[in-house]
Amino acid sequence: DTGVSQNPRHKITKRGQNVTFRCDPISEHNRLYWYRQTLGQGPEFLTYFQNEAQLEKSRLLSDRFSAERPKGSFSTLEIQRTEQGDSAMYLCASSQAGGGFTEKLFFGSGTQLSVL
Amino acid sequence: GESVGLHLPTLSVQEGDNSIINCAYSNSASDYFIWYKQESGKGPQFIIDIRSNMDKRQGQRVTVLLNKTVKHLSLQIAATQPGDSAVYFCAEKSGGSNYKLTFGKGTLLTVNP
């Protein structure tokens, strides 16, 4: 399977703990995105990388959130001092630059975070 | 702020019937629209897209219609099958952004055998 891979699929943590999620994009894709989805809602944009450069961060991404893509391949999303409001599905997507504004995003299956 | 939204949160159809899922958008600068299907426990899966200079596009069993006058988008699924049961989202890009999608709330489609 050469799709977008996310790990872990599920994470349960206690409030105040730090968590880290990993995303492996489709290998030839140089763009990588993080979205957050809460129950019954559509995904919301969090941040975007082109190669290793983080080019945009949503205002939804508080100071407790940090995303990295150190070698332009896989990416990590860390949440520090988790709060119950952080409970959501965290989706990663990737695309190949050059498709113009019709560039298609391919999503992974997400990491479901539950903060107790 | 401007957003993409859906008229109906749920839709139930009989197997073999045609389904129509609607979406309203408010951003007149939107220039590209996409329909995604999301099954339980999975990420959104691309179904079909349409550019703002078109009013209709057809795929396999699916058709997307765009009415820019009333800012309305619809997804038609022909001969709906149980495997079509999922949440359907419309999403849009605007203002020349080639990476940021804005999603609506979603419609849950249930296909009854």
User: What torsion do the CA atoms of B49, B54, B55, B59 make, to the nearest 10 degrees?
Assistant: -40
Task: Give the residue-averaged pLDDT of B47-68.
Answer: 95
Residue-wise pLDDT tens digits, A64-116: 999 999 988 999 999 999 999 999 999 999 998 776 667 788 999 999 999 99
Does B100 sit within 8 Å of A93, measured CB to CB? no
Tell me, yes or no, if B31 comes closer than 8 A to chain A by beta carbon: yes
The reported pLDDT for the residue numbered B98 is 59
The helix/strand/coil state of B40 is coil
- Per-residue exposure over B43-53, b if at least 16 CB sit within 10 Å of its own CB, e if not: bbeebbbbebe
pLDDT band for B1, please (50, 70, 90 cuts). Answer: very low
State the Cα–Cα distance between residues A107 and A95, nearest whole angstrom: 9
The reported pLDDT for the residue numbered B6 is 43
Identity of residue B40? S
Sign of torsion, CA B14 B15 B18 B20? positive
State the Cα–Cα distance between residues B66 and B4, nearest whole angstrom: 13
A54 to chain B, closest Cα gap in Å: 13
- Residue A6 has a CB neighbour count (10 Å cut-off) of 24
- For chain A, the average pLDDT equals 92
Tell me, yes or no, if B5 comes closer than 8 A to chain A by beta carbon: no
Residue-wise pLDDT tens digits, B6-54: 445 899 999 999 999 999 988 888 889 999 999 998 999 999 999 999 9
> Rg of the Cα trace of chain B?
13
The reported pLDDT for the residue numbered B67 is 95
Task: Give the residue-averaged pLDDT of A51-63.
Answer: 90
State the Cα–Cα distance between residues B37 and B71, nearest whole angstrom: 21
Task: Give the residue-averaged pLDDT of A34-47.
Answer: 92
Does A110 sit within 8 Å of B99, measured CB to CB? no
